[in-house]
Structure 1
Amino acid sequence: MKIKLILWVALVSAIVISCAQEKTKKVIGKQKQPNIIYILADDMGIGDIGPYGQTKIHTPNLDALAARGMTFTQHYSGAAVCAPSRSTLMTGQHTGHTPIRGNKQLVEDKDGQVPLPKNSVTIAEILKDAGYTTGMFGKWGLGFDEGDPNNQGFDEFYGYNDQKLAHRYYPPYLNHNQELDSLEGNDWTHKVTYSPDKIRDHRLQFLEDNKDKPFFAYIPLVLPHVELISPNDSIFKMYDGKFKETPYTEDNKYTSDYGPNIVTYEYSPCDKPKATYASMVTRIDAYVGEIIAKVEELGLTDNTIIMFTSDNGPSPEGGTSPDFFDSNSKFRGYKRDLYEGGIRAPFIAVWPHKIAEGSVTDHVSAFWDVLPTLTEITNTKNPKNIDGISFLPTLLNKDVQKTHDHLYWEFNIKGGRKAVRKGNWKGVWNKMNLKGDKKGAFELYDLSKDVSETTDIASLHPEIVAELKGLMLSSRTTSKYFPFN
């Protein structure tokens, strides 16, 4: 009897211990899966923030973020405009393979871009399947219906689906999952609720609501994409009167003011465009500071990865002054260009006790590398046919970092544009320039000697030209919605 009792007690003890160990495993597992916050600015140049040399615009929170982590000097956006850049990020495929390769309405004069196909595998879907709660707060631009964020892996979506609506900062509504959320006081005439602040409230609430489980917060900010408009608050007053201004008026192309005659997808006029643009970049910085403060308040700092970048180069439209602010730094070109200024992006990554503070890397990477990096971090599987390579070894300064044989971009405007980077060689092919003048010549640059792409040396290296032309042909598949002539 005594022996049976001892065996029974031992069995119960084993079960209790086993359950306790299993519970501990689950808790440890949750603690080991890091929270991920990916912040994406819109049309912000690499030179617009302090860590990359900006002197006229204040970005103290981003300066501090860079001091706490790693700054990349050779990181590239997915494309030279909004939608395809986001598509490369979500799918891990460059613009020769990703489904969305340009800014294109699905139906002319109707809301919504060509949708990301339902069979696409996104970062959000991968992380959601791995137990993450996923949220997206800001500008989507990858379509309604099958392309909607809720159908592409995001548990919660708040912001703009249609990127044409995102040309305005005082719209009457924003999207909240499958509902429209009216913005108080906004009616296309009156400007009461500044949409970026409303989006800010939802993303901070998301962090609060999900503090006890792993989360992925994708934060594609709308700022500083034109229109140029900012609340008349302390941030704007930092710059008001600081610069010599030329008002941007309704006489300019693609411009209309709020009121009964508003064209909603155009940009608003602006009396003080330089001060306004500077305030919009500093507002980004303030939002970043709020996110950092919330993470710290919730006690999540040590187990949270924060990444910050921009979707393409600076826009020269709507009254902006990229040359005045040196927004593209030392690089040639702007948004829509496949020169370095159109696609070279800032990238800062912070992960306490994992990424060395104040570190800088010249590793060559691009948006399509983010997906495999996050899958390696979370021990999940990559989808088939991605173009990305994990840069986790660079972040951790461990193991051997694999590198790309080459990087490829395409954009089917003005007859077509392509670019390839292989090593330090950069090939650029423009069928026409933005003015519509036929060009057609293949340009070659050595970025190790000419990072500003000032001197075309194609005639000196015919063998390199032939190789890069071949890569331009082999690095793409055909696209129904984005044909390439």
Structure 2
Amino acid sequence: MKIFITVLIALLGLYPFSTSLAQSTEKSKPNIIIIFTDDQGYGDLSSFGSPNIRTPHLDKMATEGQKWTNFYSAASVCTPSRAGLLTGRYPVRSGMASDVTRVLFPDSKGGLPDREITIAEQVKKAGYQTAMIGKWHLGHREQYLPTNHGFDTYYGIPYSNDMDATADKPSYWEYADEHIPIEYYNVPLMRNIEIIERPADQNTITRRYTQESISFIEENHDQPFFLFLAHSLPHIPLFVSEEFTGHSDAGLYGDVIEEIDHGVGQIIKKLKELEIEEQTLVIFTSDNGPWLVFRTHGGSAGQLRAGKGMTWEGGMRVPAIFWWPGTIKPEIVTDIGSSLDIFPTISHLVGGDLPDDRIIDGFNLTPVLMGEDDSPRNEMLFYRGATLYAARKDNFKAHFIIEGAYGQFEEKQVLETPLLFDLSEDPGEKYDVTDQHPEMLEEIREMVEKHKENLVEVKDQLAERE
């Protein structure tokens, strides 16, 4: 009897330890937060060179984590860029890039196909709670919404905030420096698959996205979670809350960025209050470059050439910050990275295998984040729609086709002799070095041909409209 009681006590004593060990093992998987802005340029954070926009919270993240200076979006416009981030695949592979129309619209019939695997679906297999908050733009019909692509919940505007424009809306140039009525854009605010507000009050949308994010974190902080916060701004038309009106030294655009930065600070504060900051990876980046045609409402690409819609550096090189206290080695990373790499990186961190039935174009960046190795990415392809316009290998970038966008820059030219730039010395792409480095041009051509051999034609998801 004494032996039985002794064993029983020992087993009971082990029970809390076993439970604690199981919880500890579960929490060893990091929480993941991706904060994705819309049309924010490379030069629109003070830590990335803005002289008049203050972003102290993002700057602190960049100091405490890693600031990537050669980081690329998957495309230079909204829909394909988001498809690339969530799947780790060039959007041409999923049919989410089109030469017919560049993005999805409220009358579009298509969306991200269910055969595609998203980051949310990857982490769900690892036991994560998932939420998508903000701009989706991968199909507004029910079968394409976030709740059918691995997200437990959705709260946001399903496409760009300048869509559903009303007939009485004045031209942009008539209200370029003023606040405008939200009724000019009849965009819906959705919760899961239901419209809960129309038109969405965009004056408060940034604040509400942040509040929803914090609520999700509070509700799920005791288990692994994945939050994809995709701000609708600073895509035009610009809206900002009363609290941040006139807050910046950079006009309305600066106010919008500073409100987003404030929201980032609120999220970081909540992580620290819950004592989970060392268990949480936060990634901040933008979907593409600035929409330059809108002047002071369009942001800046800094010293980079051109902006949104184009395959010049300003259209696809974006600010990127990785923050994970106690795990990420703080430094400025000048290696090449891409939003395509987020899918395999997160898959690795949560212990998930990459799909073996498809090509994944992203690379696992974990060795760089841990300070163990250089980036495995030494190349990047630049698509405009479903057509490859340019390609980068190491420090050299070749342009095979050049074309402006939205009435700015050059007419379309298919170049008989490609342009070649050494981005290590010339990130502004001003000085053609084709004659000095013909061998690099040949290497890039071979890389492009190898890539094209693995392309399979799929249905264009953007072309069909009502």
TM-score by length of 2: 0.85
Please state how far the C-alpha of 1:432 moved relative to its aligned partner. Answer: 4.4
Deviates more, 1:13-22 or 1:193-202: 13-22
2:43 is paired with a residue of what secondary structure? Answer: helix
Q: CA RMSD of the aligned region, Å?
A: 2.9
1:145 is matched with which residue?
142
Provide Cα deviations, 1:111-152, integer angstroms capped at 9, x if missing partner.
Answer: 457311111111101111111100010001111333211111
1:420 is matched with which residue?
391
> Do the aligned partners of residues 102 and 195 (structure 1) sit closer, same or farther apart at CA in structure 2, a change above 3 Å counting?
farther
Q: Which amino acid aligns with 1:283?
A: E
- C-alpha distance in 2 between matches for 1:480 and 1:227: 32
- C-alpha distance in 1 between matches for 2:21 and 2:308: 48
Please state how far the C-alpha of 1:214 moved relative to its aligned partner. Answer: 1.2
- C-alpha distance in 1 between matches for 2:145 and 2:111: 7
Q: How does 1:372-411 map to 2 (within 5 A)?
A: 372-384=344-356, 385-398=359-372, 400-401=373-374, 403-411=376-384
Q: How does 1:50-61 map to 2 (within 5 A)?
A: 50-61=46-57
1:247 is matched with which residue?
none
- C-alpha distance in 2 between matches for 1:469 and 1:311: 27
1:224 is paired with a residue of what secondary structure? Answer: coil
Contact (CA 8 Å) 1:113, 1:141: kept in 2 or not? Answer: no
Provide Cα deviations, 1:163-195, integer angstroms capped at 9, x if missing partner.
Answer: 366688934631110111126xx58xxx68633
> Do the aligned partners of residues 301 and 329 (structure 1) sit closer, same or farther apart at CA in structure 2, a change above 3 Å counting?
same
Provide Cα deviations, 1:79-126, integer angstroms capped at 9, x if missing partner.
Answer: 111111111111111245344125977999744573111111111011
- C-alpha distance in 2 between matches for 1:203 and 1:403: 32
1:237 is paired with a residue of what secondary structure? Answer: coil
Please state how far the C-alpha of 1:20 moved relative to its aligned partner. Answer: 4.1
Unaligned runs of 5+ in 2: 166-180
1:198 is matched with which residue?
208
- C-alpha distance in 1 between matches for 2:315 and 2:397: 14
- C-alpha distance in 2 between matches for 1:425 and 1:284: 34
> Do the aligned partners of residues 192 and 58 (structure 1) sit closer, same or farther apart at CA in structure 2, a change above 3 Å counting?
closer
- C-alpha distance in 1 between matches for 2:355 and 2:105: 34
2:168 is matched with which residue?
none
Q: Which amino acid aligns with 2:246?
A: K
Q: Structure 1 vs Structure 2: percent identity of aligned residues?
A: 30
Provide Cα deviations, 1:425-478, integer angstroms capped at 9, x if missing partner.
Answer: 101222644458341112211112222111223344444333323433432423
1:258 is matched with which residue?
none
2:85 is matched with which residue?
89
1:118 is matched with which residue?
114
Q: How does 1:121-140 map to 2 (within 5 A)?
A: 121-140=117-136
> Do the aligned partners of residues 289 and 107 (structure 1) sit closer, same or farther apart at CA in structure 2, a change above 3 Å counting?
closer
Q: Which amino acid aligns with 1:132?
A: Y
1:360 is paired with a residue of what secondary structure? Answer: strand
Deviates more, 1:470-479 or 1:45-54: 470-479
- C-alpha distance in 1 between matches for 2:192 and 2:99: 22
Confirm whether residue 363 of structure 1 aligns to residue 339 of structure 2.
no
Q: Which amino acid aligns with 2:205?
A: S
2:231 is matched with which residue?
221
Confirm whether residue 76 of structure 1 aligns to residue 47 of structure 2.
no
1:328 is matched with which residue?
301
Q: Which amino acid aligns with 1:451?
A: P
Higher RCO (CA-CA < 8 Å; seq separation 6+): 2
Q: How does 1:216-365 map to 2 (within 5 A)?
A: 216-231=226-241, 233-239=242-248, 275-320=251-296, 327-357=300-330, 359-365=331-337
> Do the aligned partners of residues 102 and 108 (structure 1) sit closer, same or farther apart at CA in structure 2, a change above 3 Å counting?
closer
Provide Cα deviations, 1:250-307, integer angstroms capped at 9, x if missing partner.
Answer: xxxxxxxxxxxxxxxxxxxxxxxx6111111111111111111222222222211111
Contact (CA 8 Å) 2:335, 2:375: kept in 1 or not? Answer: no
Contact (CA 8 Å) 1:41, 1:220: kept in 2 or not? Answer: yes
- C-alpha distance in 2 between matches for 1:362 and 1:26: 39
- C-alpha distance in 2 between matches for 1:78 and 1:405: 15
1:466 is matched with which residue?
442
Unaligned runs of 5+ in 1: 243-273
Contact (CA 8 Å) 1:103, 1:113: kept in 2 or not? Answer: no
1:210 is matched with which residue?
220
2:24 is paired with a residue of what secondary structure? Answer: helix
2:411 is paired with a residue of what secondary structure? Answer: coil
1:276 is paired with a residue of what secondary structure? Answer: helix
> Do the aligned partners of residues 278 and 77 (structure 1) sit closer, same or farther apart at CA in structure 2, a change above 3 Å counting?
same
- C-alpha distance in 2 between matches for 1:192 and 1:321: 16
Contact (CA 8 Å) 1:82, 1:103: kept in 2 or not? Answer: no
- C-alpha distance in 1 between matches for 2:308 and 2:404: 13
2:429 is matched with which residue?
453
2:189 is matched with which residue?
174
- C-alpha distance in 2 between matches for 1:411 and 1:122: 22
Q: Which amino acid aligns with 2:313?
A: E
2:132 is paired with a residue of what secondary structure? Answer: strand
- C-alpha distance in 2 between matches for 1:194 and 1:227: 13
Q: Which amino acid aligns with 2:340?
A: W
Contact (CA 8 Å) 1:308, 1:348: kept in 2 or not? Answer: yes
Q: How does 1:4-19 map to 2 (within 5 A)?
A: 5=1, 8-9=4-5, 12=8, 16=12, 19=15
Please state how far the C-alpha of 1:364 moved relative to its aligned partner. Answer: 1.1
Please state how far the C-alpha of 1:225 moved relative to its aligned partner. Answer: 0.6
- C-alpha distance in 2 between matches for 1:402 and 1:196: 33
Contact (CA 8 Å) 2:310, 2:403: kept in 1 or not? Answer: no
Please state how far the C-alpha of 1:38 moved relative to its aligned partner. Answer: 0.8
- C-alpha distance in 2 between matches for 1:438 and 1:112: 26
> Do the aligned partners of residues 353 and 182 (structure 1) sit closer, same or farther apart at CA in structure 2, a change above 3 Å counting?
same
Contact (CA 8 Å) 1:104, 1:113: kept in 2 or not? Answer: no
- C-alpha distance in 1 between matches for 2:370 and 2:103: 45
- C-alpha distance in 2 between matches for 1:483 and 1:469: 29
Q: Which amino acid aligns with 2:150?
A: G
The number of equivalent residue pairs is 434
